[in-house]
Structure 1
Amino acid sequence: MEWFTASEYWTGRLVFQRALAGLYLVAFLAAALQFRALIGERGMLPVPRFVERVPFRRSPSLFHWHYSDRFFAVCAWAGCAVSAALLAGLDSLLPLWGGMLLWLAPWALYLSVVNVGQTWYAFGWESLLLEVGFLAVLLGNDEVAPPVVVLFLLRWVLFRVEFGAGLIKMRGDACWRKLTCLDHHHETQPMPGPLSWFFHRLPKPLHRIEVAANHVTQLIVPFLLFAPQPVASVAASLMIVTQLWLVLSGNFAWLNWITIVLALPAVAFPSDPPAVPDAPLWYVVVVLAVSALLLGLGHRPVRNMLSRRQVMNRSFDPLHLVNTYGAFGSVSRIRYEVVVEGTADEAPRKDSGWREYEFKGKPGDPRRWPRQFAPYHLRLDWLMWFAALSPAYAGPWFGALVERLLEGDRDTLRLLRRSPFPADAPPRHIRARLFRYRYTTWRELRETGACWERTYVREFLPPTRLTGTAQRS
């Protein structure tokens, strides 16, 4: 069975598994802390309504059989517990089959969450975590050396992530071909980080170099993953460095981190692997059979990558076993933000005492500097960015958000950084206004201390009050 395993990747597997468990932990923690306001029984997009209209075969989930907020919380916190156990290395203390089942548990639990999460979970990194998490089930534990075919499949996923992202850029916005996208991206990205202002203010020639280096890393380097060592290790290391650069420049949930984790098994770490017996026959059969299935399903993302109508971030099966990825095929030139305000006045006027709600991650007060949240995912903040791009993105949930704020719903208020109204004394009216935001210059920053300058554009939602249900006043 020497052909089946590659003991020289023993350390790479170990580092990969522990890092992946850490990302699972972050994902489940975000689900546990945010679900009530987003998809709970009284959430903006309640799970019970979703499972009534979407059959199990289209969206497999435990919550098709039973849903309550308490049951969801149990599943989410159970996911945290299993992830923490994997992070601590419990799988290495179990028999091979027990370790595989332990890795299967967070995958099944998170699949159940994603498949009822609706627009709040419609991000590429959700499917990527599931696809990679499923492969982790096949990697084995300390009883066997890493299977060669699974190591290949992990590189194949990394190839599709990077090469697909590179193709979508070259086929998309012309600024990627002109090397000018980073003149705008750091300012207009969904959730800037604490260093994004400084990245934006880098000299434009350096921005050109950044874009060119990105094209090399995404369109050429991925092919080197399948070269002999040490070339594959160098290719994976270049991808890791590029992703760390992106980590510094913004908040992209765990997208960059899981890409880094994917690159780890391709690195030939110096190690002295222990002597282990040959892999048992049942394990060989399971790994080869499932790998053959995954390779067979892989023709869909390949066909998508080769298509001139390439799409980003789509799953080709309800279990999220094979998916297509990509980001920022187009880059906004102007940043818009929806600012939500409330007033306690019985009859709202332009000169009413409108007070602004502050979100945790998205820009609001021009003087408030962005914080680092990634790999933690602030789902409401991300969707507010999409809402600013077009009201159509906000259609399914924004009215419910306004209604919850008018009710002083505590679960919804916990998603915010600060509410100007206590939960027991909510505002009489809510309005939303659209502003254009831009980064200040070095001079403006020194004079005002503000990293943003904002200009009123138009009304996004007129003053709205509660009359049984949220209606316009």
Structure 2
Amino acid sequence: MVSIVYTRNLYLRGISVVYLFAFASLYVQIPGLYGNNGVLPARTQMESKANGVLAKFLTKPTLLWFAPYLGLDTEYMMDVLAIVGIAIAFLGMVSQKFCNAMTFTLMWVLYYSLYQVGQTFMWFQWDILLLEAGFISIFVAPLVYVKPGRNRSQLYQNPVTFQLVRWLLFRLMFSSGVLKFTSGCPVWWGMKALSVHFESQCIPTPVAWYSHHLPEWFLKLAMIWSLVTEVAVPFLFFFPLSAVRVTAFYLQILLQLSIIITGNYNFFNLLTMVLCISLLNDNFFFTKRKGKGRSSESSWFLTILAKIVHLGVYAVLIYFVKVLFSLRITDKYTIESDTTFTREEFDRALGKAVPAAMLLGALPLALASAEAVTATILDGPSRFFSRIANFFSTLFYVGVAVFLFSISLIPLASIHPPVLQSSANSTVPMLLRHWHSRVEPFQISNPYGLFRRMTGVGGRPEVVIEGSYVIDGPWKEYHFLYKPGDVNSSLPFVAPHQPRLDWQMWFAALQTYNQNPWIVSLAYRLLNGQPEVLQLIDTTRNPFSKAPPRFIRATLYHYHYTSWSQKSSPSWWWREKIGEYFPIFAKDHSPLLEYLKKLKIIGQDTQSSAGGRGKGKDRKKDLWTNTWLISFLQFLRSLACQVEASIFLWSLFTAGCLIAFTRRI
């Protein structure tokens, strides 16, 4: 049995770091997004006709139902959950002793409780990916911390459940690549995606500006490499030769690093890199000593054979890439490429690839399960009752792994509907679809796929919100912290923090304001000068710092990068006005107020701009108020708000690294 103790421990520490970033990033945004005077108050999600906290919990499983028992409202309870999540994740990061099943259960429950009221600001693929990976980590982690080598019985279940991490990584990468083709997007099929992507992505970095101006042939080649890394390389995750998997690991890490330096995708790429650890084992970190005599000769022969197979596998992959994309070097020493396969051919190949992927995923899980069960029988403790306990414990982990793998076949099969339909009685039985639908609300088995269709062709759409004291103007712009607005503002590095309002503004620009009711609530909060919401934008450049505007409107623009010849210019963008995004609103605009009342965002006791934290609809007179706890929560938030959000996140991470390092010393 190949050891994965160190590898598993590294994975668990990595998941703790991701949880730390996720909780901390959300924490700093709670008042403005979900407070009683926020854009989408969380209290609107906590209405239930059920009697009793248990009945309410069953209708919507979230710890926020227990807020009244702590003397808090929903907003402050969200603070408590986020702070506790930060603390637990921090402990898991600094000490392996806290990386146990109970710790990961608590972190999953806390994040899921916040997700339940997150609404549109938490409906992102990285949130559900963290929930699925976090749920799997509950069963990857040991029940209690055991130092390596002290009790092998604690390690039996790890090869089984750790296979689920690799399977999740496969589904994430394979689905993300395949859906770019199945969407039929002409930009992807025309291999022009990267010529648009660096300019159109949500929050680009400065490197994205330079990447956008790379030669077209190089961008095409980079796009082909990224698609091959997402679609073809994941099948090598299950290759029996570890060297092949290690190379796949490096390719995936390189892809994620490329995305990190060109785009701000919060903790998503970091989480993907943590999942990539499942491609390794302890031999990757610790080199074995070479033997002597005949064994060394045999080892030498096997090493040469392994290298030949390793090189052969990737040589075959490169050959097929060359053929499928017609790669050729021109007289000008550039590389030309074209897609040589049709959509019909790709669809037929996908119909065969999906069942093959299911088989490839099931085989190592079955082998690991058989090996784990056998190990409990042959190598278990000498004491009879301990051996029986280990045997049934291993069966439990095997059962969990088989169940989670089985229900995950549904979202994988959904990327090619004919597979799901034609295999209803074999590959994907109706029973699995039934169980998947039962657990679907818990986000433990999800479909994935980003950038199915490339947006921003012809210019990235951006919504610019403007306010004025007089309806005829002059109109002054609100500036956001990270998203493009002022054409002279520098492009930021903000990951792993996710400014969720900036992200939703990007999505809103792709649709109409009627499809994004939250942006109407944002306009109303700005008209009231709500301090919690103003903290989500650039307060240092607030044109209405003395008094909020009387009128507000939004205009749609198309943004473009400045040309390479203008690189010495302070401007990163130039923009063109497209038209009105939403009409002029006033604070006392009756249709606006009625609309927000219908959404339950405002009510009789929340229309005043003077309302602060803890004042709102869900602060009932018959509930006691925990004043000392509220004061403590306000004190903690005042400390966290002293620095910019991304600096706050990196400060926590740096402190954790220092503590972990000094503990080892």
What is the TM-score of this pair, normalised by structure 1?
0.89
What amino acid maps onto 1:415 in structure 2? L
Q: Which of structures 1 and 2 has the bigger CA Rg?
A: 2
Percent identity, aligned pairs only, is 31
Residue 587 of structure 2 aligns to a residue whose secondary structure is: strand
Residue 489 of structure 2 aligns to a residue whose secondary structure is: coil
Q: Which whole-Å CA distance do the structure 2 matches of 1:422 and 1:25 have between them?
A: 35
Q: Which whole-Å CA distance do the structure 1 matches of 2:195 and 2:543 have between them?
A: 39
Which of 68, 74, 78 aligns to 1:72? It is: 78
Q: Which whole-Å CA distance do the structure 1 matches of 2:392 and 2:515 have between them?
A: 50
Shift of 1:102: 1.1
Q: Which whole-Å CA distance do the structure 1 matches of 2:18 and 2:42 have between them?
A: 24
Task: Point out the more displaced range, 219-228 or 421-430.
Answer: 421-430
Shift of 1:166: 0.9
What is the TM-score of this pair, normalised by structure 2?
0.64
Residue 559 of structure 2 aligns to a residue whose secondary structure is: strand
What amino acid maps onto 1:354 in structure 2? W
Higher helix share: 2
CA contact (8 A) 1:59 1:116 kept: no
Shift of 1:177: 2.2
Cα offsets for 1:351-378 (capped at 9, x unmatched): x232211111110110111101112111
**What residue in structure 1 maps to residue 44 of structure 2?**
49
Q: 1:40 to 1:60 in 2, by over 3 A?
A: same
CA contact (8 A) 2:34 2:75 kept: no
Which of 8, 14, 35 aligns to 2:9? It is: 14
Which of 82, 85, 91 aligns to 1:85? It is: 91
Q: Which whole-Å CA distance do the structure 2 matches of 1:199 and 1:72 have between them?
A: 40
**What residue in structure 2 maps to residue 266 of structure 1?**
279
Q: 1:390 to 1:124 in 2, by over 3 A?
A: same
Q: 1:56 to 1:331 in 2, by over 3 A?
A: farther
- 1:224 is aligned to 2:346: no
What amino acid maps onto 1:248 in structure 2? I
**What residue in structure 2 maps to residue 324 of structure 1?**
447
**What residue in structure 2 maps to residue 189 of structure 1?**
201
Shift of 1:427: 1.4
Residue 341 of structure 1 aligns to a residue whose secondary structure is: strand
**What residue in structure 1 maps to residue 189 of structure 2?**
177
Shift of 1:30: 1.7
Name structure 1 gaps, 5 residues minimum.
Answer: none
CA contact (8 A) 1:60 1:319 kept: no
What amino acid maps onto 2:508 in structure 1? A
C-alpha RMSD of the superposition: 2.6
Where do residues 114-263 of structure 1 align in structure 2 (5 Å cutoff)? 114-141=115-142, 142-143=145-146, 144-145=154-155, 147-172=158-183, 173-228=185-240, 229-263=242-276
- 1:428 is aligned to 2:550: yes
Higher strand share: 1
What amino acid maps onto 1:290 in structure 2? V
Shift of 1:445: 3.1
Residue 425 of structure 1 aligns to a residue whose secondary structure is: coil
Shift of 1:420: 2.0
What amino acid maps onto 1:305 in structure 2? I
Q: 1:177 to 1:236 in 2, by over 3 A?
A: same
What amino acid maps onto 1:93 in structure 2? K
Which of 299, 317, 340 aligns to 2:465? It is: 340
CA contact (8 A) 1:11 1:271 kept: no
**What residue in structure 1 maps to residue 649 of structure 2?**
none
Q: Which whole-Å CA distance do the structure 1 matches of 2:92 and 2:501 have between them?
A: 29
Shift of 1:53: 6.6
CA contact (8 A) 1:360 1:417 kept: yes
**What residue in structure 2 maps to residue 456 of structure 1?**
577
CA contact (8 A) 1:464 1:471 kept: yes
- 1:440 is aligned to 2:562: yes
Residue 16 of structure 1 aligns to a residue whose secondary structure is: helix
Shift of 1:422: 5.3
Q: Which whole-Å CA distance do the structure 2 matches of 1:176 and 1:252 have between them?
A: 20
Shift of 1:187: 0.6
Q: Which whole-Å CA distance do the structure 2 matches of 1:424 and 1:68 have between them?
A: 30
Where do residues 386-425 of structure 1 align in structure 2 (5 Å cutoff)? 386-392=507-513, 395-418=516-539, 419-421=541-543, 425=547
Shift of 1:421: 4.1
Residue 415 of structure 2 aligns to a residue whose secondary structure is: helix
Residue 466 of structure 2 aligns to a residue whose secondary structure is: strand
Q: Which whole-Å CA distance do the structure 1 matches of 2:419 and 2:117 have between them?
A: 28
Task: Point out the more displaced range, 413-422 or 328-337.
Answer: 413-422
CA contact (8 A) 1:341 1:354 kept: yes
CA contact (8 A) 2:513 2:582 kept: no
Residue 467 of structure 2 aligns to a residue whose secondary structure is: strand
What amino acid maps onto 1:425 in structure 2? A
